[in-house]
Amino acid sequence: MPRSTNPGQTPDAATSGESTDSTRQRIVAAAKEEFARHGIAGARVDRIAKQARTSKERVYAYFRSKEALYAHVAERETTALVEATQLDPADLPGYAGILFDHFAARPDHYRLITWGRLELAESADNTTSPLQATIAGKLDKLRDAQRIGLLDPAWDPVDVLALINQIAMTWAGQPEIAAAAADQALDPSITARRAALVTAVERMFPRPEPVGRTGAARHR
């Protein structure tokens, strides 16, 4: 059976599996670094090729354009984010902490996806993209949590998800304040920053009381 070709990938490139093609792996790794640092418009294929120890022609043998290469890298990074940050509607503060941990460990990931939002705004309107499917799945989980009493039904699930995501990425998106915190915060540690945002989400969307504890309280 012939191997299918990924979007943005040439037929010739599809003949080599990514897991066995070290050149392609180096290209993708170099591209991730280049796009995170310079964005899509500012990225240069010649720098990617040099970092990957190959030629521009070889890069284009795998990906027909710089935009196609970015799309491939961004999809990989988004998949990694989704897998690493599963949403538990019964523990939204914990979810915020997981998001914080991911971006604290991988600031390049935050920069990479931010460049895409700025330079490829039309992609956000693609309701069939894997990212939109992931968002829809999280919203369904929040609606289910409201139906069974784990989450206040007064909140629109869309607002819940947007607020938690924004709070969790507060420090990733404001490096200038993070730098100021290193000198001026009462506790400059990253642990304190994480605790603050988890507490903020906890106050907005508190964890539900365990069933046993709630029942005991009713009989006092």
Residue 25 scores a pLDDT above 60: yes
**How confident is the model over 120-142, as pLDDT tens digits?**
765 555 556 777 888 999 999 99
Return the residue matching tokens 């994480």. Answer: 194
**How confident is the model over 35-80, as pLDDT tens digits?**
999 999 999 999 999 999 999 999 999 999 999 999 999 989 888 8
Which residues on adjacent β-strands are paired with residue 9?
63
Residue 83 has what pLDDT?
A: 87
Residue 11 scores a pLDDT above 70: no
Strands (E), the chain: none
Considering only residues 211 and 72, tell me which one the structure prediction assigns the higher pLDDT: 72
Q: Is 187 helix (H, G, I), strand (E, B) or coil?
A: coil
Residue 216 has what pLDDT?
A: 44
Q: Can you tell me the mean pLDDT for 73-102?
A: 92
- Here the tokens at position 73 are 């890298």
High-pLDDT (> 70) share of the chain, %: 83
**Could you tell me the sign of the dihedral formed by the alpha carbons of 179, 185, 188, 192, in that order?**
negative
Residue 18 scores a pLDDT above 50: no
Q: Can you tell me the mean pLDDT for 2-28?
A: 59
Three-state SS annotation for 20-77: CCHHHHHHHHHHHHHHHHHHHHHCCHHHHHHHCCCCHHHHHHHECCHHHHHHHHHHHH
Residue 122 has what pLDDT?
A: 58
- The answer to whether 178 touches 171, Cβ cutoff 8 Å, is yes
Burial class of residue 41 (count of CB atoms within 10 Å of its CB; 0-12, 13-18, 19+): exposed
